[in-house]
C-alpha cells in the first residue's frame, strides 16, 4: 500500500483543498495518532482535522485516487458554513450560538462517555478472555483424559472387529 499512498501524495499535494500525508505513530507523530484515535497500522483517516473519519475503501491506487477526487475538498464545517445544508447547518449554528465554556464542557462529557465505553469494553473483554481460557483448558484436559483412558485402542479394536467378525457373528449374517 505504501507505494500507492506515496503516489497519491505526490499527485494531490500542492493543491489548496487537501493535504495527503503520512504520520509515523511510533515516533514524533504518536500524540497526533492518539488524538485521532489510531489503534492499528496502517490506518487511513480523512476529513476535518478536528473531526477525522475512518477511511473504509480500497487500498489500491485507483480506489484511493477516486476517493480523494470525490471527497477531499472543502466540506461543511464551521469554517465553511456556506457548504452546509439542512440539519448539519442547523446543528453547527446551534453549537456556534453556545459559549465556549459550555462547548468545552460538552466535548469533555462526550470524551468521558467514550472513555467509559472503552474501559467497559476492555473490562468485559478480559472477562470473556478469561472465560475462553478456562473453557479451552477444560476442553483440552477432557480430551486428554478420554484419549489416555484408551479411546484410541478401543477405536482400533472396533475397526478390527468390524473387518474380522467372529465365527458366530458370521453365521448370523
DSSP per-residue string spanning 86-130: HHHHHHHHHHHHS-HHHHHHHHHHHHHHHHHHHHHHHHHHHHHHH
Query: Residue 29 has what pLDDT?
Result: 85
Contact 38, 45 (CB under 8 A): yes
Any idea where the domains of the chain sit in the sequence?
2-74, 109-172
Give the three-state DSSP class for 15: strand
Residue 19 has pLDDT above 90, yes or no: no
| Cα–Cα distance, 85 to 76 (Å, whole number) | 8
What are 76-125's pLDDT values in tens digits? 889 889 999 999 999 999 999 999 999 999 999 999 999 999 999 999 99
End-to-end CA distance of the chain: 68
| The residue to which cell 470524551 is assigned | 111
Please state the rounded mean pLDDT for residues 24-29: 86
CATH number of this structure's domain 2-74, picked from the four choices 3.30.300.210, 3.30.365.10, 3.40.30.10, 3.30.70.1400? 3.40.30.10
| Cα–Cα distance, 113 to 111 (Å, whole number) | 5
HSE on the CB side for 108, CA within 13 Å?
A: 6
Contact 54, 45 (CB under 8 A): yes
What are 30-71's pLDDT values in tens digits? 888 888 888 888 888 888 777 888 889 999 899 988 988 888
User: Torsions phi, psi of 45, nearest 5?
Assistant: -125, 155
Amino acid at each position: 500500500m505504501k507505494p500507492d499512498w506515496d503516489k497519491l501524495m505526490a499527485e494531490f499535494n500542492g493543491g489548496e483543498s487537501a493535504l495527503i500525508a503520512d504520520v509515523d505513530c511510533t515516533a514524533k507523530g504518536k500524540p497526533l495518532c492518539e488524538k485521532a484515535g489510531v489503534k492499528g497500522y496502517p490506518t487511513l483517516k480523512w476529513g476535518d482535522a478536528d473531526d477525522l473519519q475512518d477511511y473504509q475503501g480500497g487500498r489500491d491506487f485507483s480506489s484511493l485516487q477516486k476517493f480523494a477526487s470525490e471527497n477531499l475538498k472543502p466540506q461543511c464545517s464551521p469554517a465553511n458554513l456556506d457548504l452546509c445544508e439542512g440539519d448539519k447547518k442547523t446543528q453547527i449554528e446551534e453549537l456556534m450560538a453556545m459559549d465556549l465554556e459550555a462547548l468545552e464542557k460538552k466535548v469533555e462529557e462526550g470524551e468521558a462517555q467514550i472513555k467509559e465505553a472503552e474501559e467497559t469494553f476492555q473490562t468485559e473483554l478480559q472477562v470473556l478472555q478469561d472465560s475462553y481460557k478456562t473453557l479451552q483448558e477444560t476442553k483440552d484436559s477432557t480430551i486428554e483424559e478420554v484419549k489416555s483412558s484408551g479411546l484410541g485402542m478401543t477405536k482400533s479394536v472396533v475397526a478390527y472387529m468390524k473387518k474380522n467378525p467372529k465365527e458366530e457373528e458370521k453365521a448370523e449374517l
